[in-house]
Amino acid sequence: MASSRSGLVGDERGGVERWVVWLVALAVVGGLVGSVVYLDDELRRDSPGADFSVSFDADAGALTVEHAGGDAITDRTTERLSVAVLDGSTGTSEEVVWVSDSPSATKRGVGYPVRPGDSLTVDDPSVDSNGDGSYLDAERSVGFYLESGDSVRVVWTGSMRGTTQTVTLANATLE
């Protein structure tokens, strides 16, 4: 009796099928691990890794906050980015919105994303710097005079890790 082998039989075929299943499983697991590592990086951070600088022009009664590097502030996790100013002599404070999910809070076409090099200027009602008769010449204004000793904070509010958080990204004192 002659036997012919036209293909894989028995244990040989089962071994090949197992290898195929293992290779597919490894590819799927590898893809999931890559996705989890990316998402974990996003979920681990408490806030965007962005740097801000603050400069003050006493003659114009204006301060400028600039995104000086790091992560762009996007609407993906951000609910609001604002600048809080504290009058050092009276204790009065105001928070002006830079960008927000609320269309009424974001004025004059400033919106997401806020990238390195973008800036926001805030002035007070003491100087008409462009001579147009209005003392509020910047993108945003506060209702008190800006002067040396006032404090400025850049405040981020957003959702990371599934909860809403408010984090101060930068602090400065006007000089």
pLDDT at 121 over 50: yes
Say if residues 145 and 125 touch (Cβ distance below 8 Å).
Answer: yes
- In the chain, % of residues over pLDDT 90: 50
CA distance 143 to 42: 38
Does the structural domain 34-174 have CATH classification 1.10.260.40? Answer: no
- pLDDT digit string, tens, across residues 61-97: 999 999 999 999 998 889 999 999 999 999 999 999 9
- pTM for the model: 0.71
Q: What is the mean pLDDT of the chain?
A: 81
| 46 secondary structure, DSSP code | S
Question: Quick check: 108 pLDDT over 70?
Answer: no
Looking at residue 39, its pLDDT comes to 45
For residues 120 and 163, which has the higher predicted lDDT (pLDDT)? 120
- The pLDDT tens digits for 6-29 are 555 555 555 667 777 777 767 766
Q: How far apart are CA 106 and CA 67, in angstroms?
A: 17
Phi, psi of 59 (to 5 degrees): -65, -35
With pLDDT > 70 as the criterion, what percentage of the chain qualifies? Answer: 72
At 41 the pLDDT is: 45
